Amino acid sequence: MSQFHQQRLSNGLTVLVETMPHVTGVAVGFLVRTGARDETPADAGVSHFLEHMCFKGTDKRGWRDITIAFDDIGSTYNAMTSKEKTFYYGWVRAGDLARQTELLADMMRSTLPEAEFETEKKVILEEIAMSDDQIDRHLYDLLHEKFFAGHPLRWPVLGTTETIEKLTRAQMLDYFRRRYNAANMVLIIAGHVTASAAMKIAEDVCGHWPAGVARPDRQPPSIVKRGVAVLPMDRFRQQAIAMAVPAPSATDDDNEVAETVASIVGGSNSRFFWKIVQAGIAPVASAYRVDYCDCGFQLLYGFCEPPNAERLVEAIQRELSVLAREGVTEDEVMRVRNRRRTALALEAEAPYHRLMQLAHDLDMFGVPRSVEQRLAELDAVTTDRVHDYLKRWPMDREHYLVSVGPRAWPES
Amino acid sequence: MHGGAEPYVHRTLRGGIELVVERLPDRPIAALDIRILAGMADEPADKLGLAFLVEQTINKGTAKRSGQELSDAFDRLGALHGSSAGRESFGFRCTCLPDFLDDVVALHAEFLRTPTFPEESCEVAKELALQELTALEDDPGELSRKALSLRAYGPVLGRHLYGERETIERIGRTDIVGFWQRNFGAARLQVAAAGRVDAERLADSLEKHFSDWNPSVVRATSPAVEFSAGRWHAHKELEQQYIAICWPGVPMSDAAHPVERVMLTILGDGMSSRLFAEVRERQGLVYWVGAWHEHPRTAGMIHLGASSTPARCEQTYVTLLREVDRLADDISADELARAKTQIIARTETHGDLTRARVSELASDLFYYGRPIPMAVKNAQVQAVSVEEIRGYLSEHPRDRRCVVTLGPAAPPAA
């Protein structure tokens, strides 16, 4: 249905093209292999702040010109920063691919305009304030702070009010020069385009970039597998509770098995849904696999009325014990597989969704995975593999528990 | 790409069921959107939250199987499904591989027509609704929208999904069953489908399953918006102050709808829009700001929203209103052309998604009673002129506004 073309330009920039002849649009993005875990305590939050600054000006364009150029072609566009990557993208009509790619490429050579730095710092501080009003953000950050104690994965992507206020443009410029170069970036294009046309555009807009050097290798964390952390916050009405259980990294052969386990435990129509939500214990109880390049965890979480906190945790633990004792059924694995098959069919018709998946694949594996390949990986998940996984990654033995809300629970 | 000369099929089936299909035979999937024309507006005033409870319990047991067995049956087909309760309609949406469409329709018929509403599920749904009300207190954006809706839309169309604590507590299984009996039936059924769909076969299937469904249920007229201008503030301990502004616009079926759509794109859609450029990029007052419109079936409402820390709230508010007030003064040809391209290009790129197509079709059926081809809508947008926007703005004054603020500081003085 689709086909890949992967090639390096002479300066070392990797270009990946997925031709999707069955669609009318095309999505393009620049993956920068850097994120919050690649920062230092002195510049925590710089990756995300820098992502904002790339919209603020280049040698050719001011911020107003950049935003107008996106909207002049009716692009669906944005950028995002995570613990491990920064990604800029636009989704346009096929005829606008060259304009969209040139614009994004120009932004990757940002001048980080001095006049805009302090104004954008205010926007970042507003974003932090807005996220401070969300209980789930506190829960997620607290879990990372404790589970990855002593490792850069513990830092929040946004940074903190203190680190952002202190951050200087000179620090950002230094970080930018070290990370935004051909050796550390990937150009990805997915949609109605031929490989030759896409490669010509890539050469035209990125061929002159300096080669640079790739980001230093990352050090894997030593995870704190057991513990409890409580953040009392009176202003919230719910109690938010999460448990982290170690799980394989994104590149592990058990990747699809780990996803299946998360889905059976806490996806839609899952054990958590019927045994916790439909038991009236909490309106939200879910499981979600968090995967990084060298580690991962199963995130088991829920939001409940504060007096229900004990019942929620007991119910989660009970389900994990049942899982360890009884395993999963053929029918459960088949149901997850069938849902995912439909989801993959949906992904195959959407250049934007393929672009996001390819960014993940390139970042983690260095090569793309086709929808067909992922279907094959999905089909290879069996109950035996799930049971083998549960022996090697037991979910009922140790966990790190975090709790945020009006109750200081569990008590130490 | 459509494979046939006429992609659209629009028919009224036996029992009054409305069906619209967009045939996209090259697509690998089929998407279905089933709408029942009833919703929060049909709740008794002392039983607010009832529509939510109906939506939460209707698939928790049928004459043939339990709620979990029903969900398992959907999963075995790989059918991705979901439901929602709205002001004037319930939505049941499903995407599946084309071969399973008949089975998916049969499953929907089973739970829509023969729900058992188990007593235990009704009690759990009530309990969860009360817990959702607690969760709502931790969502300042939704909380400010709730406060705004009640005043801007009035006591019927301004209802919130979760109702109020005391009204939820009053609801029993009998109320849930009664609501379903009074409001669910073939005459209130609208079905949209897109993708690799055999329209004739789908029509036959729908007639077989639904045409004799509850003939005593007839269509009701849509309630009207009861707009109140004014300013309200609620104190809450938060990092930011949330601002929600609303005033009446035009219905989807109004000839001026495309004009309003272009005007709102200029005002608040995209990073080049006036609000984003002025409030965020130039002044750095907010992370989030937006303008959009929402549509009850026979009305339209314009919304503005933003949030900023208390020290910047006054300036944010003043800037928002200034941008609204100056809209008619200086719209340039470039701005107009850009807004049109934004709307048309996104319609085209997002049209690759079968789910986007079925949502558009379902919306057409709900508001216009027929499918409107994308090319026709885009031509209406393309025809909008600066003079029409000025005319719209002069005919629809923006000085009677409903404003709600929520946060730790005093409301804006301006």
Between vectors from CA B207 to CA B206 and to CA B211, what angle results, nearest 5°?
Answer: 115
Please give the pLDDT value at position B397: 87
Band (pLDDT 50/70/90 cuts) for residue B4 is very low
- In whole angstroms, give the CA distance from residue B187 to residue B106: 18
Probe site for chain B from A56, A122, A276, A355 (most B CB atoms < 10 A): A122
Contact across the interface for A72 and B341, Cβ inside 8 Å: yes
Q: Which residues contact A3 (CB under 8 A, 6 or more apart)?
A: A18, A19, A195
- Average of pLDDT values for B98-118? 98
Average pLDDT for chain A: 97
Per-residue pLDDT at B3 exceeds 80: no
- In whole angstroms, give the CA distance from residue B110 to residue B371: 28
Provide the CA A245 distance to its chain's centre, in angstroms.
18
- Average of pLDDT values for B310-331? 94
Sign of the alpha-carbon torsion through A131, A134, A135, A140: negative
CATH numbers and ranges of domains, chain B: 8-210 (3.30.830.10), 230-407 (3.30.830.10)
**H or E segment at B406?**
strand B402-407
Please give the pLDDT value at position A376: 94
Band (pLDDT 50/70/90 cuts) for residue A2 is low
Please give the pLDDT value at position A395: 98
Taking CA atoms, what residue in A is nearest to B94? A342
A40: left (phi over 0), alpha (psi -120 to 50) or beta: beta
**Collapsing DSSP states into helix, strand and coil, what is residue A332?**
helix
Q: Does B328 touch chain A (CB under 8 A)?
A: no
pLDDT, tens digit, for every residue of B76-95? 999 999 999 999 999 999 99
Chain B segment 218-277 residues within 8 A of A by beta carbon are: 237-240, 270-273, 276-277
To the nearest whole Å, the CA of B393 is away from the closest chain A CA by 23
- B15 in Cβ contact with B187 (< 8 Å): yes
To the nearest whole Å, the CA of B276 is away from the closest chain A CA by 10
Please give the pLDDT value at position B329: 87
Please give the pLDDT value at position A412: 72
Pairing of strands A227-232, A400-405: parallel
Q: At what angle do helices B386-395 and B333-350 cross, to 10 degrees?
A: 90
Taking residue A391's Cβ as centre, other Cβ atoms within 10 Å add up to 8
To the nearest whole Å, the CA of B239 is away from the closest chain A CA by 6
Taking CA atoms, what residue in B is nearest to A283? B128
Bridge partners, B36 (sequence order): B90, B189
Contact across the interface for B78 and A341, Cβ inside 8 Å: yes
**Residues of chain B with C-beta less than 8 angstroms from the C-beta of A119:** 281-284
- A300 in Cβ contact with A316 (< 8 Å): yes
Q: Where are the beta strands (DSSP E) in B99-195?
A: 189-195
CATH numbers and ranges of domains, chain A: 3-206 (3.30.830.10), 227-405 (3.30.830.10)
pLDDT, tens digit, for every residue of A68-78? 999 999 999 99
Radius of gyration of chain A (CA): 22
Give the count of Cβ contacts less than 8 A between chain A and B.
Answer: 181
To the nearest whole Å, the CA of A396 is away from the closest chain B CA by 25
Contact across the interface for A71 and B28, Cβ inside 8 Å: no
Between vectors from CA B327 to CA B308 and to CA A64, what angle results, nearest 5°?
Answer: 65
Contact across the interface for B341 and A342, Cβ inside 8 Å: no
Q: Does B79 touch chain A (CB under 8 A)?
A: yes
Taking CA atoms, what residue in B is nearest to A304? B131
pLDDT, tens digit, for every residue of B215-273? 999 999 999 999 999 999 999 999 999 999 999 999 999 999 999 999 999 999 999 99
Probe site for chain A from B100, B271, B279 (most A CB atoms < 10 A): B271
B8: left (phi over 0), alpha (psi -120 to 50) or beta: beta
- In whole angstroms, give the CA distance from residue B400 to residue A230: 47
The torsion angles phi and psi of B35, rounded to 5 degrees, stand at -120, 135
Probe site for chain A from B1, B74, B75, B374 (most A CB atoms < 10 A): B75
To the nearest whole Å, the CA of B326 is away from the closest chain A CA by 19
- A269 in Cβ contact with A217 (< 8 Å): no
- In whole angstroms, give the CA distance from residue B281 to residue A70: 15
**ipTM score:** 0.96
**Collapsing DSSP states into helix, strand and coil, what is residue A289?**
strand
DSSP symbols for B327-351: TTT---HHHHHHHHHHHHHHHHHHT
Please give the pLDDT value at position B414: 67
Bridge partners, B404 (sequence order): B232, B244
pLDDT, tens digit, for every residue of B20-68? 999 999 999 999 999 999 999 999 999 999 999 999 999 999 999 999 9
pLDDT, tens digit, for every residue of B350-401? 999 999 999 999 999 999 999 999 999 999 999 999 999 999 999 998 889 9
Bridge partners, A243 (sequence order): A300, A401
